[in-house]
Each structure stands twice: as structure tokens, then as C-alpha cells.
Amino acid sequence: MSCLKLYEPINTLKAIGDDIWIVDGPKIDFKLYGLKLPFPTRMTVIRLAGNKLWVHSPTELTPALKAEIEAIGEVAYLIAPNRIHYWWVADWKAAWPAAEVHVAPKVKEHSGGRINAVEAELGPEAPAAWRDGIEQVLVPGSFMAEAVFFHRASRTVILTDLIENFELDRITCFWLRWLIRLAGIHHPHGRVPPDLRQTFRLQGDEVRIAVEKILAWPAEKVVLAHGKWYRENGAAELARAFQWAL
């Protein structure tokens, strides 16, 4: 029995603004301290100039989703924003061989050979390919770095594990609700998990500078991979969730 109620319907495009969509995907099991923790998944798709699609943290590619994607544009960029969010990139690359794969530091090494073709490593600033529409910051950590993005036209910040915001009423297993409460990563108090936060603290001023750049964005929405995303008051939610880094 699954411990999670997913964000139905899954594996389908959901518009959240002009030229920007999310896809709620299936659950994944994340191994931590000998436990298998179920996580919901979510990706973001942005249509750039020339109908080129920028796909962030791809979820499972089903035939129906592939048809929906092909109806809105051509997949041009596949983004693995940290060393945890890479699994389905290989499937999308196989479906669109011309797409460029851009990965955060340590992704290729951590993928165990699942990702081989990499065009570029994500850095502290957006490459020319998408900087006209999407800004970029790299938050460094000792365990992993995470690339965070800002879609200017929709005023949407896009991240993965730097904020997790589980809704307790969607968790049906008592033990998982207890763990989520203990970690303090439940709605409306979403934040980075405390164990992961410590790995970023080791980078000190580098993390603070990166976070200050994120907080300077005029954010309205914040899309995240795990849990309820923020449809409004994005700047305030970011300021609250990243207070630890300042």
C-alpha cells in the first residue's frame, strides 16, 4: 500500500502560466538510513523562443505525455538540477537525441553510467541558450549543489530539494507522517530537510551569496519537486524558507 496520495492527474501537462507547465509524476522511493521513503515527483517545462522546450527534473516519460510534449514544442534542454534529480533524463534523451543535457556538479559521477552524454555542467549563471528567459543560481553544498532557476515572464522560481513541503493529509502511513513532522518539512512550513541543510552550511558565505540572489528575484510562484508548491506569495515563502542561510 502506498503511503502517499499523489497529485492527480499524473503524467500530464498542467499550465501554470504562459509558456510554463508542470507535470506531477509518480512516486519514487528514496533510501535513507535503511528506510525506503516515498516521495512525489514534479517537473517543470518552459517554452523558450523558437518553440524550444526547457525540461527541468524530468519525470517518467509515458507515451501520452510524450505526445503532449511534442504538441507544444521541441525538447531542446534537459536539466538535472542536483545529484538526486537525474533518473529519467536518460529516457528523455533517448526520445529526443538532439536535446542538450545540462547537469549540476556530481550528477554524472553519481548516476553510475546512466547519464553519459552531457553537454554542460550547470554553473552560477545561466548559459546563453536560455538566459534571455530564465535566470540561474547554483547553491553549493558539500553533499550536492543545486541549481535554482527563475522564469522571468511568469515570475516563477523552480527548485527541487532546497524546499520540501509535504501535506500531512496526503500521507496515509503514521510512521511517515511522524518522520515528516520530525524533519519540519510539512506544509505550510516547507524548507530544506535538516540533514541536507547541514551539508550546505559548510559552504558558508558561498551559500549566503547564492541565496541572496534568489531572494532578490521578484517571485510570485515557487515550484518544487516534493509536496505542495506555492502559487502565490513566492518571495515571502522563499524568505521564510531560506532564513537559515542568511
For residue 39, give the CATH number of its domain. 3.60.15.10
- Bond before 124 cis per omega within 30 degrees: no
Residue type for position 10: I
Please state the rounded mean pLDDT for residues 53-57. 98
Q: Give the pLDDT confidence score for residue 246 in this predicted structure.
A: 92
- Is 215 contained in some domain? yes
Please tell me the distance from the alpha carbon of residue 100 to that of residue 109, in angstroms, as a whole number: 18
For 166, the domain range is 13-245
DSSP state of 88: T
Could you tell me the three cell numbers for 107?
A: 550528477
Residue 219 lies in a domain: yes
Cα–Cα dist 11/22, whole Å: 10
Assigned domain for 24 exists: yes
Asked, for residue 6, whether it belongs to a domain, the answer is no
- pLDDT band (50, 70, 90) for residue 125: very high
Report the number of distinct structural domains present in the chain.
1
Q: Is residue 52 part of a domain?
A: yes
Q: Which helix (H) or strand (E) holds 98?
A: none
Residue 7 in domain: no
Answer whether residue 1 is part of any domain.
no
Q: Dihedral angle at the C-alpha atoms of 103, 105, 108, 109, nearest 10 degrees?
A: -170
Would residue 172 count as lying in a domain?
yes
Confidence (pTM): 0.95
31, containing H or E segment? strand 20-32
Angle between helices 234-241 and 205-216 (to 10 degrees): 170
* Tens digit of each residue's pLDDT (9 = 90 or more) over 73-82: 999 999 999 9
Residue 1 has pLDDT above 70, yes or no: no
